[in-house]
Structure 1
Amino acid sequence: MNTGSYFERIDDHRYKPTPHAGGAWDADEMHVSPLAGLVVHALDRHLARDRDRGRDNGLVLSRISFDILGRLALDECEIRIGTLRPGRTIELVEAVVHIAGRPVVQARAWLLASGDTAAVAGGAGDRLTPPDALGSWPLTSVWPGGYIASLDVRPVAPPEPGRATVWLTTGLDLVAGEPVSPLASYVALVDTANGIAVRRPPSAWMFPNVDLTVHLHRRPEGRWTGLDTTVVFGPTGQGVTSTVLHDTAGPVGHAQQILTIRPQPS
C-alpha cells in the first residue's frame, strides 16, 4: 500500500476516503491522522482564497486542536470552514468535518503574525538521529488498518511501553492529484503518536484519544515527521500522550492527546 492517496476529492468541500485511510481500532473507521492532515489542507485552500481576494495579512497557523465528536465512518466527508475571530495579527478559524450529515470533528486553528525573531530564538532542544541512518519497523505488528500499513516507521531506539521516538513518512498523496503543503503532510502523520509507544497491547486494552492539539513554534519542512513520545496511563481511566514534534532540522513544537482507557470486552 505505497501508491495512491488517502482521499479523493468529490467537490470543493467533500472528499472520499480510500482504504489507505482505514483506522487502527476499526477497519471500517477513518484513522484520525490523515483526516487531520486533510483539515489542514482545507484550511490552506480557504486561506489561499482569502489571499486571492486581497486579504493577505501574513498570518501562519501556529496551533490547531481537533476534538473528535463521534464515530469516523470510512465514508464521504464534508469540511466547512469559518472565521471565528478575524484580526490583522491574530485570527481564529474553525473547520468542522461532517459525515452522513453529522459533525464528527471540530478543529480550531490560531493564526499568528509572522516576523523575524531569529535573534532571540532558542530553547527548542536537540535534533534527532536522522531517519536515513535508521532501519524500518513494521508498526503493523502492533496495529491493523490501511493507514498503519501505509507508513514507513523508523525508530531512533527500540520502542518501550509508554516511550518511543520514531520517524514517520508515507509514499501516498494526501489528496489524489493535488499539491499539498508541507504542513498538511506533516500534520497528517502526527496522530500516530498514540500508537507508537503502547503501554498495554491494544488486543487487551482500549486507549483511543478523543482529541489532538498541535502547537508549533516553527513551520515543519520535508517529508519526515519525528515523534518523541511519552504515554502516561492514570489510575481512573484517563491517560495522556505527549509528544515533542520534530523535522530533520530539529524540534518544531508539541502535541498532546487525551486518552480514555478501558479493557477490551471479553
Structure 2
Amino acid sequence: MPAYFERIDASAFRPTSAVEGAWSTEEQHIAPSLGLIAHAIETEHAERRGRDLQLGRISYDILGTIPIERVDLDIRILRPGRTIELVEAVLSHEGRAAVIARAWLMQVADTAALAGSSLPAMPGRHELEPWSAGEIWQGRHVRTVDMHRRQVEPGRAWAWLRPQLPLLEGEEISPTARLLGLVDIANGLTPRMAPAEVAFPNVDLTCHLVAVPTGEWIGFDTTVTVGPAGLGLTDTVLHDDRGADGVVPLGTVQQILTVRPIRG
C-alpha cells in the first residue's frame, strides 16, 4: 500500500504524490509533514529513553511552502528532564527550514478517576453524511482521507476523518502521530469564504492533547473566525469514538490564518 512518505535514511524522507497540496498541486499539503515531525520526535524519544514520556503539546510554525521533494528532519532537546522535556524539530528542504516544531513531552500518570470535561460532545460518525473535500479543494491529498461532515453554516461544522494511507512506508506509527498527520485539514473543513476568491492559509498549528486517540476515526468540532483586518482563526475540539459517547475529548487545535482576498 502506498504511503505519504518513504524513508531515505535516519533523517531524510521522500514524499509521494499522495501529499499533493490543496492550495497548489505543486506543493505539499502540510498535514502529513506535521505527522511525520511528530513521528520523528516520538522515535527519537523512544530510542533515547524508551517512551516513558508522552506528547502533551506540539506547536508548529510553518515558514513556507514545500515542493513535493525530499525533506530532512533535525531534532534537539531544548529542556531535558526526568518528568518533562521540551523538544524542537526542524523540517527543511534543500537547507531551508520549512517547519519548526516544539513539543512538550510529559510524564504518564493514572488520572482515570479524575477524567472529565465541560466541552460539549459532538455527533457520532454515523449521524453525519459522507463528504469529499474534493468538492471545494484541489490536490490528491484531500482525496486520500475518508470524511463525514455536517456543516451548520460556512465556518461551523462537525466532521469525522480517517486517512486511507499510512503516514510512512513500512513503519509503525503511534495513534498520536497519526492524529497529528490529519489535524491541519481542519482549516479546510468548513471555509467561510470560497478558496477561489479568498486565500486563508494557516501559518501555525498548535495541538494540546489530554488523551491518546483510539480507533481509526478522529472527530473535528470546528469553528472558523475571520477578523476585520486580515487575520483569522480556525479552532477545533478533537474527539475519538469515546468522545462521541460523552467521554473526555482528545484535545484542541488552533490555527492562525492570514486572510487575503484574491484580486482577479
TM tier relative to shorter chain: over 0.9
CA distance in 1, matches of 2:194, 2:223: 16
Query: Using the alignment, how far apart are the partners of 2:62 and 2:157 within structure 1?
Result: 24
Q: What is residue 214 of structure 1 aligned with on the other side?
A: 207
Give me the identity figure in percent.
47
Q: Is the CA contact 2:151–2:190 (under 8 Å) kept in the aligned structure 1? A: no
Aligned residue number for residue 108 of structure 1: 102
- Are the aligned partners of 2:210 and 2:251 in contact in 1 as well (CA < 8 Å)? yes
User: 2:170 matched to 1:177?
Assistant: yes
- Check if 1:120 corresponds to 2:114: yes
- Cα drift, residue 125 of structure 1: 3.5
1:246 corresponds to which residue? 239
Q: Which amino acid is 2:47 matched to?
A: R
Distance 2:253 2:129 in 1: 25
Gaps of 5+ in 1: none
Letter in 1 for 2:84: I
> In structure 1, what is the Cα distance between the partners aligned to 2:182 and 2:194?
21
**Deviation for aligned residue 1:253:** 0.4
**SS of corresponding position for 1:241:** strand
Deviates more, 1:234-243 or 1:168-177: 168-177
What TM-score results when the alignment is normalised by the length of structure 2?
Answer: 0.94
Q: Distance in 1 between matches of 2:47 and 2:53?
A: 14
* Equivalences for residues 1-266 of structure 1 within 5 A: 3-51=1-49, 58-155=52-149, 157-250=150-243, 251-266=249-264
TM-score, length basis structure 1: 0.93
User: 1: distance between equivalents of 2:127 and 2:191?
Assistant: 24
How many residue pairs match? The answer is: 259
Q: Which amino acid aligns with 1:173?
A: P
CA drift of 1:135 comes to: 3.2
In the alignment, the residues of structure 2 paired with residue 126 and residue 215 of structure 1 have an alpha-carbon distance, to the nearest angstrom, of 17
Measured in 2, the distance between the counterparts of 1:78 and 1:124 equals 41
Give unpaired runs (5+ residues) of structure 2: 244-248
Could you list the structure 1 runs, at least 4 aligned residues long, displaced by more than 4 angstroms after superposition: none
- Counterpart amino acid of residue 260 in structure 2: R
Aligned residue in 1 for 2:246: none
Task: Supply the AA of the counterpart residue of 1:14.
Answer: A
Distance, in Å, in 2 between the alignment partners of 1:135 and 1:178 is 32
State the AA in 1 paired with 2:146.
Answer: D
Q: Is the 8 A contact 1:127 1:249 kept in 2?
A: no
Give the distance between the partners of 1:102 and 1:158, measured in 2 at CA. 38
Q: What is the alpha-carbon distance in structure 1 between the residues aligned to residue 96 and residue 201 of structure 2?
A: 20
